[in-house]
Chain A
Amino acid sequence: MKLSMFHLMPYQDLPADFETQHRSAWVDLPNENFNPELGRQYYNDYLDELEHADTLGFDGVCVNEHHSNAYGLMPSPNIMAATLARNTKDAALIVLGNSLSLYQPPIRVAEEMAMLDIMSGGRLVAGFPVGTSMDTTFSYGQVPAQLRERHTEAHDLIIKAWTEREPFIFNGKYNKLRYVNVWPRPLQQPHPPVWVPGSGSLETWDWVLDRNYVYCYLSYFGYQRGNRVVQGFWERAAERGMDDNPHRLGFLQLVCVSETDESAQEEYEEHVKYFYQKMLRIYAPFAESPGYRSIHSIRESLRPQLGQETMKAASELNWKDFVEQGHIIAGSPATVRDRMEEAIKLLRVGHLMCLLHIGTMPKELTFKNMNLFSKEVMPGLKNIYQEYDDPWWPQGVGEQAIPTAAD
């Protein structure tokens, strides 16, 4: 069982009346709302938190890519991972990831990820998301109907660039390259493990299973709701005769630990509300550009909801709802441990990514959350699924990351 710390690096200072003044925290929220002086503080605090995760024994630290938004201030996750490569020693660097269709040519991803892999001593997980509709089709202007084809082509190019030892010609539909010859090439052989975040479509499950990668379901609606999608993934894997190694799956879970269940609410409620009310405020058309998903996929996702009451908007939920519905796992160490174990077993997840900084949480509170989690929750969970191999974990973890002079 691998337990990692995920960070979104949100902007914390949106005004109280943001929801009435702006339709979206993404794409068209004017950057006059961004204060660079505060941004400087956030970046340093957030990197301190991820470095602290390494010293506390988290298995990995996770960063990701988003654009033109207040929700996550990492347009370049590779910059964050580069500094973490130097300032962490043991944790896997889980870059979830680079939205492949945004890099033209995607050789850039092959190069930068190879650099990260080498600098970290082979601790890189290469995340290859398609990217959200907001990031890719609106902020980066990619044609929605071509996004997935571009993503697949970029993937094929990167893997080939990592594994071929001679320069080669790549005559793709979107990438015409006479000389593909990536320097440097990755330390891990044949290449870093690949994880792919998805939102529950059959196409993505098959895409991941075809290539024997890790499927990551990143939802903010917790393990109970997420389980429907996850079970679909496991059923698909079984249908295809694949094994059910829990490490095939990654899952994101919001976690808040305090001394007691009551103090957890006192300490974390305002931060959780900021996250759900402000960070997840996305103008609906931005969330699904026409062509971003196939009509078949949209129909399959809509049909079960037909005639049903729509899910209550997260912005209308209170602390009790968040906890009871499993959006967040919060409370005393014992409460959190029990629910984490329930989630891990229900989902059959071997790579759990814990969001331990949420919304406006200050560094002291994040450290407290992380300290309690690592000392009082993690030990009780570490041994779950220990009978399974994890071929999707970076080869360099546990090795000496920085060579000594004698090497």
Chain B
Amino acid sequence: MVEYRHVTVPVRGGKFQVQMVEGGTGDNLIFLHGEDGATEWTPFLDLLAQHFHVYAPAHPGQGGSNGLQYLDDLWDLVIFYEELMQELGIDQVHAVGHSYGGLLAAELASHRPEKVSRLVLINSLGLWLDDAPIADFFILTAEERAKMFWFDAGCEAAKAAFAKPSDPEEKMESDLSRTETLAAVGKFIWPIPDKGLTKRIHRITMPTLLLWGDSDGMVPMNYGQAFKDLLPNSSLKVIEKAGHLPQDERPSAVVDAMLPFLRG
């Protein structure tokens, strides 16, 4: 396992305190997590950190990162991420985003294409297809999530994701943390995760890899193809036997797909 650390990064003179896990050496890589919540040091990040300097911040209002009240819309949030990169002293980065984090990574790449050397979108939000509506993930029950998010809801990673603390107080706090995460996501994309990326996506000219779990019940494969159609410099790779969270369900397969692309 690669050595990693929890760090708190002040942004905008300390108005924001960003909680982040960080580890590894190599080119800079930022991972933006999805609506499933802020990321601990997962096997996926650990595999990446064997090749890259990995930064995985928690979005404002989630996982202990504060300052959500200073952000009113997606534009504010994208600017915030640009400032976080400045704060970290990163001039160029590989941006990797999952789902809601993919939407943010794509927006950041459209806003400041020169800052993103390569872009990886994993089962990403950002587009909307009327004939394949994305599930209303704000109201999914645990059972529905198990079914939609995992190819094999019985795998160890899935079981860990759905494990509930037995202590009532801890369970309450865990539920509240999930609500807090969804509230913070909802602030920017409620009720439909379409914020007009198609008007800006032509600015994403850097090499882009689209990775898609083939059994995603939330953002189905159609969206991978739709991104590919809009991004001339992209390739789409299907991760078999994975749902909405391929980086958790099949971390090695995802990293194996990413490495040749990021090193290319």
Contact = CB atoms under 8 A, between A and B. Distances in A.
B186 A295 contact: no
B169 A306 contact: yes
Nearest to A290: B182
Interface string B165-208: 00011001000100111111111001110000000000000000
A398 interface: no
Contact of A286 (B139, B169, B183, B185): B139
B187 A143 contact: yes
Instruction: Give the interface size class of chain A.
Output: 20 to 34
Contacts of A144: 183, 186, 190
Contacts of B180: 290, 295
A145 B187 contact: yes
Interface string A297-317: 011001100110000000000
Interface residues of B, number: 22
A299 B187 contact: no
Contact of A290 (B141, B183, B192): B183
A146 interface: yes
Given A137-B191, A285-B138, A298-B179, A291 B168 contact: no
Interface in A245-296: 283, 285-286, 289-291, 295
Nearest to A285: B139
A285 B141 contact: yes
Contacts of A286: 139
A141 interface: yes
A143 B138 CA distance: 12
Contact of A289 (B68, B72, B138, B168): B138
A310 to B, nearest CB: 12
Given A290-B185, A306-B168, 19 more contacts: A137-B190, A138-B191, A142-B190, A143-B187, A143-B191, A144-B186, A145-B184, A145-B186, A146-B187, A285-B141, A290-B179, A290-B182, A290-B183, A291-B183, A291-B184, A291-B186, A295-B179, A295-B183, A299-B176
15 contacts: A141-B190, A143-B190, A143-B191, A144-B190, A145-B68, A145-B184, A145-B190, A173-B72, A289-B186, A290-B181, A295-B176, A295-B179, A295-B183, A302-B172, A303-B172
Interface of A: 137-138, 141-146, 173, 283, 285-286, 289-291, 295, 298-299, 302-303, 306-307
